[in-house]
Each structure stands twice: as C-alpha cells, then as structure tokens.
Structure 1
C-alpha cells in the first residue's frame, strides 16, 4: 500500500527509474509476484541508516538522560527494508557493471508513477517512496524528527547511484526481518520494459524471450542501447 509521506521528496511520476538484476532474482520476482526489499543494515554501505556526525553529536546529548533514545535508532535499522532503484533517462553502463555479476543480467525500466501503482495493492505494510539525498557526513546535518530520514541520506561518494527508494518499516508488526522482506506487487505496473545485458550472447536473449512467453508475460524486451553497432 503506497502512502504519501509529507516529509519525503517524491520526484515527478514520469521520472524514469531502473533496476539492474541477475536472471535468478528477476525470475523470483516474476514467479512470486513479490519484490524483495533488503534489510537496511544488510547493504554494503556500513553507514546505511546511520546519522551524520553533527546529527549524532546532538542525539548523544539528548540520550544522556534517556539512553533508550539512541538504542531505538540503533535497532530501528533492523526493522526497515529498502528496494533501491536508479533514476536515469537512459541506461547506465556503470549500473550494469555494479549490479549484474555476469553478462546474464537484465534491467527493468519503470517510472516513479508505476512504482507507486505497483505497490498500491500491498495490504500488510505501508510503502513510502523517496529520493536519496547525498551529503557530507562529516559536516552536514540529517534531521531526525522523522524516523525515515536516516534512510534517505547517503554519503556524497554514492552520488552516482542517483537512488530512489521504496521503504517499509515493520516496527508496528513486532516481527523480525532476517535478510529482508518480500512485498506483493503488480508486475505489469512495475515493469515498463526489459533490457537485456549489452554483453549477453544470443542464446541468452532467446532464453529470456522464451521464459517470458512460457510465463505468459508480454513485456517489451529491448536490446541494450550500449550494444549498438559501431559506425565508422
């Protein structure tokens, strides 16, 4: 269930977004009709869901008389799950390199509006969508008057990700997340087009086409723009 959050910056619904993933994860999405969201403290970036130094100093002062205040923020990371998407009008060579382990990868092209509609049927956990802000963690301040803010800020060295996130918080449900959470999605809303890895072999492209056909999906499958013939 998509819920608009008044404090979260949401780009225009027509903003184009991408998700780069391996075939196994793509098939899991198609077969289960569920989108995997990673627990926020399981990302490679150890700063994920933490505060910048100026904010942390302020929280420490507030925690002097109330130790539970700081403890809440530390454990809260274990209750928040995130699905990351890349904002870009076009394909990104860097994203192919980083998020697909081999040439057997795919990219889902969607829009912010489609993401909103895709998670709308989910009944169990409210979903929030927001754009990540990239800041200097040594100098800049992250507001903490909203529990979602730590998950919408990252260090400037990650600016290339141009990330938009679907976020959920399971704290009200008193449940434990292991690696993450799967939420029900409308696959046809989620996926606009599918792009096949630019370095993939022809047999792999045929396999993807055949798999989609057998699963009764009729998405547009695009040849990667990065695979264009060289003109001399």
Structure 2
C-alpha cells in the first residue's frame, strides 16, 4: 500500500505525471493489473542508489571500525525496486524518443493523487512516492538518515528526466528479486488518459482503441499532436 513519508519531497496531488512505454509492456500491465518495478541496481545509471562524494567520505569515517555498516548500504540496492514517472504538464518529445523503441509506443498520463490511490491496501508491499532531486555528486551532500534518500537523488546530467518515483524496500520481505517485480495496482485509478505515439499510423490508434474495448477499459485515448500538420 502507499505509505506517506514526511521526510520525502512529494509534488502536489494534482501534479501531472507520465510513463512512456511500448504496447507490449502496456498490455502486460492491463492484463496482470500490475505495475512493474525495476530493481534499483539494474538501471542504466550506475550511480543509482549510491551516495555523493561528500556523503561517502562521511560514511567511510563512520564505518572505519565497522565495515559491515558500508557493506549494508551496498547490498541494500538489490532489495529496492522503483517505478519511474516523468513530471510534466505536457507530453515530452524527448521522453518519446528515449523510452519508446518504435512508432508503436504510447504514454500513460496520470497524477500524483492517482498514483497514491492506485496502490490500495490489497498491495502487500509498502510503497513510497518521492520526487528526485538533481545535484552535483562531487560537491553536494545526500542525507542518509532515511533509507530511501539514496534513491531520490541523481546527477544533474539527468535533470531532463524530471522524475518522480514509486519506491519499495523489500529487505524485510525475504524474497529473491531478479530484474524486478510486479505490484498490484488499480488500473482504472492509475490511468487518466492514454496518448498514442506521434509517429504512429491511424490503424495503430484504432488497434489500441479496439484492445481497450475488448479488455473492458474506457480510457480517453488521444493521438499525440507533436507531429500534427503545420499551419503554413
């Protein structure tokens, strides 16, 4: 279920968030009624879940006589799973390019409130939502008095992502996580609108509409207008 945490920076409830994904992953979400969360150390960015240099120097001093202290932080990454969402009032051309492999991708539009409501009490994993802060890892400090903080900071090079994250720490669940795991979500609460890839053909939009009808969903579906005809 969703658990609030006053130490974590959280955008306003009506903040619009997006997830860009391929049709196959989207259909898997609908059919399973589950959202995939990736293991934190499986992200492309090798700095995921690590600390900035000033924080690391402090941790080394603390762990000088207790090596297990630092080892626990290193192993902790394997037990944390993340679902990433993009904060933006409008759809993003860059996100289409990065997260959809072909012209048959789509984007889910939701809000912070919808994310919170979609993770109901039937979910057996505690989940936290937080906005990522982008800092200079050579100069700036990452606090470590909260186990989620290392996963809510990234290098400034990634500022374009404007990321908000759903995070679960599964250390106490004693389960083996490979690439990640799926968590139960209320699909109808999660999704506000679906946008079709700007470069897709009309038949693709019709296919998505037909699939939604057959699966019993009535989401509002729009074709992205990023590739609409110019007026001159």
- TM-score normalised over the length of structure 1: 0.99
How far residue 51 of structure 1 moved from its aligned partner, in angstroms, is 0.3
Distance in 2 between residues matched to 1:113 and 1:185, nearest whole Å: 13
Unaligned runs of 5+ residues in structure 1 are none
Report the secondary structure of 2:226's partner residue. helix
Distance in 2 between residues matched to 1:64 and 1:176, nearest whole Å: 30
Task: Quote the residue 1:152 is aligned against.
Answer: 152
How far residue 6 of structure 1 moved from its aligned partner, in angstroms, is 1.4
Distance in 2 between residues matched to 1:71 and 1:165, nearest whole Å: 25
How far residue 181 of structure 1 moved from its aligned partner, in angstroms, is 1.2
CA RMSD of aligned residues (A): 0.7
Deviations 1:50-94 (A, max 9, x none): 000110011111111111100100000000000000000000000
- TM-score normalised over the length of structure 2: 0.99
How many pairs align? 232
How far residue 228 of structure 1 moved from its aligned partner, in angstroms, is 2.2
Distance in 2 between residues matched to 1:212 and 1:121, nearest whole Å: 26
Q: Is 2:135–2:155's contact at 8 Å kept on the other side of the alignment?
A: yes
Deviations 1:12-38 (A, max 9, x none): 000000000000000000000000000
Over 4 Å off, 4+ runs: none
Distance in 2 between residues matched to 1:120 and 1:68, nearest whole Å: 36
Task: Quote the residue 1:181 is aligned against.
Answer: 181
Task: Quote the residue 1:17 is aligned against.
Answer: 17
Task: Quote the residue 2:8 is aligned against.
Answer: 8
5 Å-filtered alignment, 1:105-144, equals 105-144=105-144
Distance in 2 between residues matched to 1:144 and 1:131, nearest whole Å: 16
Unaligned runs of 5+ residues in structure 2 are none
Distance in 2 between residues matched to 1:180 and 1:207, nearest whole Å: 29
Q: Is 1:136–1:156's contact at 8 Å kept on the other side of the alignment?
A: yes
Tell me if 1:166 matches 2:166.
yes
